[in-house]
């Protein structure tokens, strides 16, 4: 089974945003050696705790500092941007790193509504154009715009014989249905929405329409996980994300608390209930426990691949969690892999 990584470049208390970005580079190099299949970077804007607003730039640094791992976005928030410009950026990366680039596309705001308006005042009013926007991007990437399209003569450069893999990302049924309609691989964000994902994945497989980009459905589940040598240590490390998710439920946003800061936080019974509810979005424990939980989710989703997101109160334990998980699944020193890779031109 393929395992991959989603990195939000968390900014941990006591560290600068620049240090968070360098921790992402370090983790990507480690993932390349550990045998993870792909490394995706998330897009968030004006968030104090997450350091990467432009994954389309950072992925170039990741690709340049790694050797074999696929690198991509999880995802580019397409409503903000020109389809042509996105295609040009990813055609450039495909020319530089052929066969290793993924363009994961999302439609969420990636921040608060004020920030969304500042980025592109028209983006949130044009959500009903998302399906067309995706198809325009594909058309530019593959020089496949229909002859009657107004910009048919415009070509995304640099042209070449291969194209990045294009994925649709989502935490509801919309993107899954669109991915199936367009014949694209699909990633469901279980770490955002713990319920209903398996049904979305089944519907995606059922309604998939083969296309020149994919003859068969290919589904991935993105899952939050923390792995440690003991269950007690895993629970300790989970304190930081427990606090963050409580804060997010309150509409608060800040740096990722260190483990010590999070453990010192007093909670009311109501707050503990919120934390317990949010735990449904995570798999936390020893390597054996986490592996079993991930395999259970793989079965529920009928997933071809799992993508793991891990945030703890320090960068060392985050890296160690990924190391333990790779060892548990036998990834170290080899490429992961049963299942068919989604086809791409």
Q: What is the mean pLDDT of the chain?
A: 94
CB atoms within 10 A of CB 256: 25
Q: Which helix (H) or strand (E) holds 88?
A: helix 83-96
**Residue 5: its H or E element:** strand 2-7
Dist. CA 41–CA 62, nearest whole Å:
10
140 falls in which pLDDT band (50, 70, 90)? very high
Own/partner contacts of 276-281, CB < 8 Å, gap of 24 or more, are: 278/242, 278/245, 278/246, 278/249, 279/242, 280/194, 280/195, 281/190, 281/191, 281/192, 281/193, 281/194, 281/224, 281/245
For residues 267-287, average pLDDT: 97
Would you state the pLDDT for residue 266? 96
Q: Is the pLDDT of residue 29 over 80?
A: yes
Task: Report the candidate in 15, 2, 4 with the shortest Cα–Cα distance to residue 257.
Answer: 15
pLDDT tens-digit map of 183-214: 999 999 999 999 999 999 999 999 999 999 99
pLDDT digits (tens, 9 = 90+) for 104-122: 999 887 788 888 889 988 8
The whole-angstrom separation of Cα 48 and Cα 308 is 22
Among 242, 248, 191, residue whose Cα is nearest residue 220: 191
Quick one: average pLDDT of 116-138? Answer: 86
% of the chain beyond a pLDDT of 90: 89
Q: What is the mean pLDDT of residues 141-154?
A: 96
The pLDDT of residue 113 is 84
pLDDT for the residue numbered 109: 78
Domain ranges of the chain: 2-329
Q: What is the pLDDT of residues 230-250, one digit of tens each?
A: 999 999 999 999 999 999 999
| Stated pTM of the model | 0.94
Question: Of 94, 33, 32, which is closest to residue 62 (Cα–Cα)?
Answer: 32
pLDDT of residue 342: 57
Alpha helices of 97-183 — where are they, by DSSP H? 113-119, 130-141, 173-182
pLDDT value at position 158? Answer: 98
pLDDT of residue 126: 64
- Where residue 339 falls among pLDDT bands split at 50, 70, 90? very low
Half-sphere exposure of 264 (CA within 13 A, CB side): 6
Query: Which of the pair, 341 or 47, is modelled with greater confidence?
Result: 47
pLDDT interval class at 39 (50, 70, 90): very high
Helix (H) or strand (E) holding 105: strand 101-106
Write phi, then psi, for 111 (nearest 5 degrees): 165, -165
**Rounded-to-integer distance, Cα 241 and Cα 246, Å:** 8
Is 22's pLDDT higher than 70? yes
Task: Say if residues 24 and 9 touch (Cβ distance below 8 Å).
Answer: yes
Quote the CA–CA distance of 108 and 292 in Å, as a whole number. Answer: 31
Predicted confidence at residue 116, as pLDDT, reads: 86
Instruction: Say whether the peptide bond before residue 135 is cis (omega within 30 degrees of 0).
Output: no
List all residues 6 or more positions away from 264 whose beta carbon is below 8 Å from its beta carbon.
none
- And the tokens for 52? 């990467």
Look up residue 229 and give its DSSP letter.
S
The yes-or-no verdict on residue 127 having pLDDT over 70 is: no
Decide which of 332 and 170 is more confident: 170
- pLDDT mean over 147-151: 95
**Architecture of the domain whose range is 2-329:** Alpha-Beta Barrel (3.20)
By mean pLDDT, which of 5-9, 15-19, 251-255 is the weakest? 251-255
C-alpha distances (whole Å) from 301 to each of 16, 157, 196, 298, 312 are: 37, 37, 10, 5, 26
| 152-162 mean pLDDT | 96
């Amino acid at each position: 089974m393929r395992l991959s990584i989603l990195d939000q470049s968390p900014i941990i208390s006591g560290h600068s945003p620049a240090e968070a970005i360098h921790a992402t580079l370090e983790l990507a190099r480690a993932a390349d050696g550990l045998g993870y299949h792909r490394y995706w970077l998330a897009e968030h804007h004006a968030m104090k705790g997450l350091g990467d607003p432009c994954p389309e730039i950072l992925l170039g640094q990741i690709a340049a500092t790694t050797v074999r791992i696929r690198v991509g976005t999880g995802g580019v928030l397409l409503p903000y941007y020109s389809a042509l410009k996105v295609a040009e950026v990813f055609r450039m990366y495909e020319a530089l790193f052929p066969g290793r680039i993924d363009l994961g596309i999302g439609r969420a705001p990636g921040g608060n509504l004020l920030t969304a308006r500042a980025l592109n005042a028209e983006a949130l009013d044009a959500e009903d154009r998302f399906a067309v926007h995706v198809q325009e991007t594909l058309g530019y990437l593959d020089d496949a715009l229909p002859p009657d399209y107004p910009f048919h003569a415009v070509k995304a450069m640099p042209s070449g014989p291969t194209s990045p893999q294009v994925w649709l990302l989502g935490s509801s049924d919309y993107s899954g249905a669109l991915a199936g309609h367009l014949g694209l691989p699909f990633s469901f964000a279980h770490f955002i929405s713990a319920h209903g994902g398996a049904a979305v994945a089944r519907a995606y497989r059922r309604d998939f329409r083969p296309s020149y980009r994919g003859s068969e459905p290919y589904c991935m589940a993105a899952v939050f996980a923390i792995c440690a040598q003991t269950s007690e240590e895993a629970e300790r490390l989970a304190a930081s994300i427990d606090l963050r998710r409580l804060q997010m439920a309150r509409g608060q946003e800040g740096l990722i608390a260190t483990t010590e800061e999070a453990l010192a936080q007093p909670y009311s019974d109501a707050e503990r209930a919120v934390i317990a509810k949010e735990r449904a979005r995570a798999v936390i424990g020893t390597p054996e426990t986490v592996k079993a939980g991930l395999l259970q989710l793989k079965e529920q989703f009928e997933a071809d691949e799992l993508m793991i997101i891990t945030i703890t109160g320090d960068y060392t334990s985050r890296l160690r969690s990924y190391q333990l998980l790779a060892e548990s699944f036998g990834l170290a020193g080899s490429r992961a892999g049963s299942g068919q890779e989604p086809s791409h031109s």
